[in-house]
Amino acid sequence: MLKKLAELEPNSVKRLFARWSRNEDLRSWTSGLIGERITGRRLARLGPQWKVLHAVQWASGSDVDHLAVGPAGVFAINSKRHKGKTVWYGDRAITVNRAPTRHIAISLSEAQRIARVLTRHCGFSVPVKPAIAVVQAAKLTVKNAAPPVLVVDAEELARRLVGMSPVLSSDQVARIYEVARNARTWERG
């Protein structure tokens, strides 16, 4: 066991110990980080027409889990790790093991904020679609014909985004990505 611990990078050791911590906030943060890393690996499958940023930092200290820019548009993606739980998405809400969450409202608000910032800096309208990548849920059920937020199993995320109809030219993708990867873009939101 000690040999295996010694082979891990320092952050891996911290995450390992955090899983068994009695501190609920630390365990929750660690679980979220694991979910974000899994989603990030899935987004790496998008292909060369897509540009992806991870952990985009707002000046306030909060961050956007993932920002994907490609032919199908701009997506603000929140990773939600609900390992072994039942996730249900109805008309306007997501429940996890029947408990309501604020995932939809938060995702909608975040996408609107990102759209305002990107539009201001790009010089043209940049709609941003909110998405939630559900990670390691036992079951995900989506019961909404036209959901305001794309809710998808993280395993299916890249396939779903690539399969959408194009709405941006390659020049628009390049410009939005150039603006989005500039840290100064996010200083005032």
Q: List pLDDT tens digits, range 36-61.
A: 999 999 999 999 999 999 999 999 88
- Model confidence, pTM: 0.85
On the question of pLDDT at 21 being above 70, the answer is: no
Q: Pull the structure tokens for residue 135.
A: 């990670």
> Which pLDDT band holds residue 35 (cuts at 50, 70, 90)?
confident
pLDDT 10s digits, 104-121: 999 999 999 999 999 999
Supply the range of the domain harboring residue 34: 2-186
Q: What is the spatial distance between Cα 33 and Cα 182, in angstroms, rounded to a whole number?
A: 23
Dihedral, CA of residue 134, residue 140, residue 146 and residue 149, to nearest 10: -20
Average pLDDT value for residue range 65-72 = 98
Whole-number pLDDT of residue 54 = 96
Number of domains in the chain: 1
Please state, in angstroms and as integers, the Cα–Cα distance from residue 30 to each residue in 25, 34, 95, following that order: 9, 6, 21
On the question of pLDDT at 24 being above 80, the answer is: no
pLDDT 10s digits, 132-169: 999 999 999 999 778 899 999 999 999 999 999 999 99
